[in-house]
Structure 1
């Protein structure tokens, strides 16, 4: 009798363990499916954003850029006919149009993912820093440590560049900063990107999570990069990204 009871208890325990394992496996499968679904949504959103930015960049270059080019040529012709008292003022206006055309072309290239891939990540960041300094809104500096050839993934380079671009955009729009520093540190296994400004900062835990912050975090998650944003009111903001190198995936936006 005792043997039968022990056998029944053993069977009940085994059945319980079996169903518990099965339940855990089903829960794990569900979590993995949800994570894959969320990752696919994030990837799709980023692809749509990239295509939109590319279209805007092409429109700026092809349409508005063309109009400014025509205006610049016409002003060059008119410059021969302007009387001396107005010569200096006219020349200044012509230079403004020329500079606007140059800035527009630089902006359109920074929006086009194909240009970013062809240039490479580091060169794209360098051009963004140069463009920012030309605007004379603040003083921007780029620091490079290590060998840039360690990083070769063109798809991930677009994502990382957009994160850098978003941080810079937020600094320009909201931080009232005088200076900004971008550091690219190439390690054997990973790339560390550090961006900091000396602006007014904000309380990370209390600030409303706007589209900019969400986009940066989602992009970092998509490429398994550690995302650490630190900001203190009146003490500036700092972002550190730790990106593990991975093989080229050959996906195109």
Structure 2
């Protein structure tokens, strides 16, 4: 029994360490996007503004289109960099972070997304749990965009007395859960849920929908 408990503790510590490494990597990528890619896009925008002043009327529409594309790209990069940096997420709070992600999805033009928040907000006792829940949702959103060919994504966050209930459902292609569909994204979602003692349920129906249900038993301060 001691060996079993030791192995379980080792596996939990290993999973926690892996998640911490992933978070540090995401934070680094977020900073690089903001500091380097963001600055390059901002510089390119300034250069185009200078070109606009000396351009004749025949090419002004093309310059204007390029300016709009750069502006959209810069906005997207800045939004993405924030969603990857856990410090930014913690400062803004869980609800705001998820809402910002929904706005980012809508601004992408790839999907129509909505969010509904009900109940009296409860502060998390462990801030890292906020990050874990947000990353689970972010992974689900990413899978929806990459694989589901969905047109809609609806998210609900419901604060109950002792548990936070979160649902996210898309109207995409769906998949067979028991047909070897066990990609790294799903594995990461399940591992993160286990680390914070959250109940994760994924249901899907071919050519219809995929739904994520999360139940997180928070402790009230």
- Normalized against structure 2, the TM-score is what? 0.96
Structure 1 residue 233 and structure 2 residue 206: aligned? yes
Equivalences, count: 221
Quote how far apart the aligned CAs of 1:32 are. 2.1
- Structure 1 Cα separation of the partners of residues 129 and 191 of structure 2: 13
* Per-residue deviation, residues 193-250 of structure 1 (Å, max 9, x unmatched): 10100101001011331100000000000000011100111121001010000378xx
- Structure 1 Cα separation of the partners of residues 125 and 144 of structure 2: 28
* Per-residue deviation, residues 45-81 of structure 1 (Å, max 9, x unmatched): 0000000011111111111111111111111122111
- Structure 2 Cα separation of the partners of residues 152 and 222 of structure 1: 15
* Per-residue deviation, residues 114-171 of structure 1 (Å, max 9, x unmatched): 1111111110100000000011111100011112234453210000000000000000
- Corresponding position of 2:100: 127
- Structure 2 Cα separation of the partners of residues 166 and 41 of structure 1: 21
Q: Which runs of 5+ in 2 are unaligned?
A: none
- Structure 2 Cα separation of the partners of residues 88 and 160 of structure 1: 44
- Corresponding position of 1:202: 175
Work out whether residues 120 and 154 of structure 1, in 8 Å CA contact, stay in contact via their aligned partners in 2: no
Structure 1 residue 173 and structure 2 residue 114: aligned? no
| Structure with the largest fraction of helix | 1
- Structure 2 Cα separation of the partners of residues 74 and 247 of structure 1: 52
Q: 2:194 aligns with which of 207, 221, 225?
A: 221
- Structure 2 Cα separation of the partners of residues 147 and 173 of structure 1: 34
Q: Which runs of 5+ in 1 are unaligned?
A: 1-26, 249-253
Rg (Cα) greater in structure: 1
- Structure 1 Cα separation of the partners of residues 40 and 178 of structure 2: 46
- Normalized against structure 1, the TM-score is what? 0.84
- Please give the secondary structure, in 2, of the residue aligned with 1:245: coil
C-alpha RMSD of matched pairs (Å): 1.3
* Per-residue deviation, residues 167-196 of structure 1 (Å, max 9, x unmatched): 000000000001001110001101001010
Quote how far apart the aligned CAs of 1:92 are. 1.3
- Corresponding position of 1:34: 7
